[in-house]
């Protein structure tokens, strides 16, 4: 993709704030932006804005920006799910929860004093995105969080692979972009797995449940593959950890015998459901299994995946680096991180020049160019 910016002027002086846990991603984004600035005849200055969020011994905090941001087109990148960031509270190391990260985000927005020209929040995994609808007497946390940001004069919210993008209905008067990492995941697959055959006779897309069908339909369509689906049979007479437990997975689709499979989902949380899916696929005589997940949380550690890999249940797991992978994960031979920094840089650059995101949102042409050599 070529950076043009030939028609529109910048909305304002570009600035990027990378919240705690996003420093490495921010450094790579800044390198892309600096290079494009040089290509346009600029001096290649850094676009990163200096800030701190110091904490008191009680755990209370404040946000401080150490330079002027008056008139800036400011982008704040925040990873709500980086649990490796800690702070001291009453002398004890305390891991930052999503709530802590969200509070720090609001502190930094407040520290701008409303002086920015435009304020955009890039929140790759949407805060409270799984608490997006009400079934009984429940809170609607995601909607409330989005409305809070709107009241703080945020005009654009950029997220990736939202659990349910309809949550944007809570903020109909500001921008909400739900981007997909489809192209980056496919490109990473074909560059990592050299011998993969991408055609209907050798490869199939499988959705782990009905909720993931829309993204799986897109993968199957752009890759020209058949699609299968599991549906979850649940026990609705009891609750475990806030949800009805899964009794079994039932498969709907073509014969899998001898076919390789790509299982696509938005996240890996505990990983139990994903491992169960791979066991069922192997029982159906599937070949090699590759797992795509936009966000790899691995909330209960990596032991289950290590054991499943040793059993031959899957070949490789691909997740984006939008949620920072913890250190142990990056050492696993079965894991491939998918770099999203250049894509985010494109988004920031295009918005800073007030241009359309349409070309970035539609990845079908880029996917076709990537797959064309494998089909000849």
What is the spatial distance between Cα 24 and Cα 36, in angstroms, rounded to a whole number?
19
Confidence of residue 4 (pLDDT cuts 50, 70, 90): low
The residue whose two tokens read 């702070």 is: 87
User: In 3-state terms, what secondary structure has residue 135?
Assistant: coil
pLDDT in the model for residue 79:
94
- What secondary structure letter does DSSP report for 363? -
Judge residue 102's burial from the number of C-beta atoms within 10 Å of its C-beta, 0-12 exposed, 13-18 middle, 19 or more buried: buried
> Which residues lie below 8 Å from residue 366, measured CB to CB, with a gap of 6+?
1, 183
Tell me the torsion sign for CA atoms 139, 142, 148, 151: negative
Cα 49 to chain center, whole Å?
A: 23
With 80 as the cut, is the pLDDT of residue 31 above it? yes
With 60 as the cut, is the pLDDT of residue 120 above it? yes
- Report yes or no: 53 and 61 within 8 Å, Cβ to Cβ: yes
Judge residue 281's burial from the number of C-beta atoms within 10 Å of its C-beta, 0-12 exposed, 13-18 middle, 19 or more buried: buried
- Report yes or no: 277 and 317 within 8 Å, Cβ to Cβ: no
Confidence of residue 324 (pLDDT cuts 50, 70, 90): confident
pLDDT in the model for residue 2:
46
The residue whose two tokens read 């944007």 is: 168
What is the spatial distance between Cα 59 and Cα 54, in angstroms, rounded to a whole number?
9
pLDDT digits (tens, 9 = 90+) for 178-228: 999 999 999 999 999 998 999 999 999 999 888 889 999 999 999 999 999
Query: Both tokens of residue 120?
Result: 């955009």
Give me the percent of the chain exceeding a pLDDT of 70: 96
């Amino acid at each position: 993709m070529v950076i043009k910016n030939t028609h529109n002027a910048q909305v304002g002086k570009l600035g990027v704030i990378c919240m705690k846990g996003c420093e490495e991603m921010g450094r790579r984004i800044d390198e892309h932006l600096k290079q494009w600035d040089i290509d346009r005849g600029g001096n290649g200055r850094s676009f990163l804005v200096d800030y701190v969020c110091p904490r008191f011994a009680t755990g209370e905090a404040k946000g401080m920006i150490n330079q002027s941001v008056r008139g800036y087109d400011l982008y704040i990148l925040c990873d709500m799910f980086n649990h490796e960031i800690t702070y001291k509270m009453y002398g004890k190391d305390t891991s930052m929860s999503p709530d802590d990260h969200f509070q720090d985000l609001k502190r930094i927005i407040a520290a701008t004093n409303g002086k920015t020209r435009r304020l955009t929040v890039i929140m790759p995994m949407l805060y409270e995105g799984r608490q997006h609808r009400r079934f009984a007497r429940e809170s609607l946390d995601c909607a409330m969080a989005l409305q809070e940001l709107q009241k703080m004069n945020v005009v654009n919210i950029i997220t990736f692979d939202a659990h349910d993008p309809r949550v944007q209905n809570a903020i109909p008067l500001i921008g909400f972009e739900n981007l997909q990492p489809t192209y980056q995941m496919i490109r990473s697959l074909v560059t990592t797995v050299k011998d993969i055959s991408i055609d209907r006779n050798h490869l199939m897309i499988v959705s782990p449940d009905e909720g993931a069908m829309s993204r799986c339909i897109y993968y199957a369509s752009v890759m020209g593959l058949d699609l299968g689906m599991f549906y979850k049979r649940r026990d609705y007479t009891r609750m475990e950890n806030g949800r009805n437990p899964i009794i079994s997975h039932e498969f709907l689709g073509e014969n899998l015998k001898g076919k390789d499979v790509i299982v696509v989902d938005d996240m890996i949380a505990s990983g139990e459901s994903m491992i169960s899916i791979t066991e069922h696929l192997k029982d159906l005589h599937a070949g090699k299994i590759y797992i795509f997940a936009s966000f790899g949380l691995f909330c209960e550690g990596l032991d289950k995946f290590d054991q499943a890999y040793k059993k031959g249940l899957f070949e490789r797991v691909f997740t984006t680096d939008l949620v920072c992978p913890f250190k142990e994960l990056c050492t696993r031979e079965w894991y491939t991180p998918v770099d999203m920094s250049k894509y985010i840089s494109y988004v920031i650059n295009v918005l800073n020049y007030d241009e359309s995101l349409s070309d970035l949102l539609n990845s079908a042409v880029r996917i076709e160019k990537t797959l064309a050599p494998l089909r000849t």
